């Protein structure tokens, strides 16, 4: 091949190789390791924790996995009259047998840190009827609904 053909093959091979490393690269950016050679400084970005939202006839139910966090480390509030806010500044706890001088070579099992999720609630959400519980690493937030308005029938006289 000519001068340009070799360069194209090398660039194409490098591009294909980079494609195979995209998941690891994204994971390192989003979930940087707290120690070790891959350590990156936290950019203040909240962990994006997936949430399931169930819409029933009487309520909205939010399910969020929060492994390692206790109920005292989680705050559930309503801001601006219709925004549900879930936040935590939970810190990783030391495991039994983990000495002060120890360091992890790899730390993958981490709970959410600096968690912040906001959800705009629909008009029929009753912000006075919100409950939350945290059991077995799952946060469940229940937002009641206002009953639907009753339809009115007005008799109109015909002239």
Report the CATH number at residue 131: 2.60.40.790
Which pair of structure tokens corresponds to residue 103?
């360091």
CA distance 142 to 63: 9
**Of residues 76, 54, 67, the one with CA closest to residue 111:** 67
Phi, psi of 24 (to 5 degrees): -65, -40
In a domain, 89, yes or no: yes
The confidence score (pLDDT) of residue 78 equals 96
The confidence score (pLDDT) of residue 101 equals 77
Q: What is the radius of gyration, based on Cα positions, of the chain? A: 25
Does residue 92 carry a pLDDT above 70? no
Regarding whether 62 and 24 lie in a shared domain, the answer is: no
Regarding whether 48 and 118 lie in a shared domain, the answer is: yes
Regarding whether 58 and 2 lie in a shared domain, the answer is: no
In a domain, 36, yes or no: no
Phi, psi of 29 (to 5 degrees): -75, -45
Could you report how far apart the first and last alpha carbons of the chain are, in Å? 94
Quick one: DSSP state of residue 110? -
CA dist list (Å): 121 to 17, 91, 99, 138: 44, 29, 45, 21
Regarding whether 25 and 57 lie in a shared domain, the answer is: no
The confidence score (pLDDT) of residue 2 equals 52
CA distance 75 to 60: 18
Chain segment 24-70, per-residue pLDDT in tens:
566 556 554 433 333 333 344 445 788 999 999 999 999 999 887 88
- The domain of 110 spans 43-95+106-159
Domain total for the chain? 2
Place of tokens 């050679």: 37
């Amino acid at each position: 091949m000519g001068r340009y053909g070799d360069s194209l093959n090398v660039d194409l091979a490098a591009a294909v190789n980079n494609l195979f490393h995209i998941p690891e690269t994204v994971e390192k950016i989003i979930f940087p390791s707290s120690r070790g050679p891959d350590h990156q400084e936290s950019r203040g970005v909240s962990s994006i924790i997936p949430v399931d939202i169930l819409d029933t006839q009487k309520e909205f139910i939010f399910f969020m996995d929060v492994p390692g966090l206790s109920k005292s480390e989680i705050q559930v509030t309503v801001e601006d009259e219709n925004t549900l806010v879930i936040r935590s500044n939970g810190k990783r706890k030391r495991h039994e047998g983990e000495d002060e001088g120890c360091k992890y070579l790899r730390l993958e099992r981490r709970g959410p840190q600096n968690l912040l999720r906001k959800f705009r609630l629909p008009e029929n959400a009753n912000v006075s009827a919100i409950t939350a519980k945290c059991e077995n690493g799952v946060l469940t937030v229940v937002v009641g609904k206002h009953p639907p308005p009753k339809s009115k029938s007005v008799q109109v006289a015909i002239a």
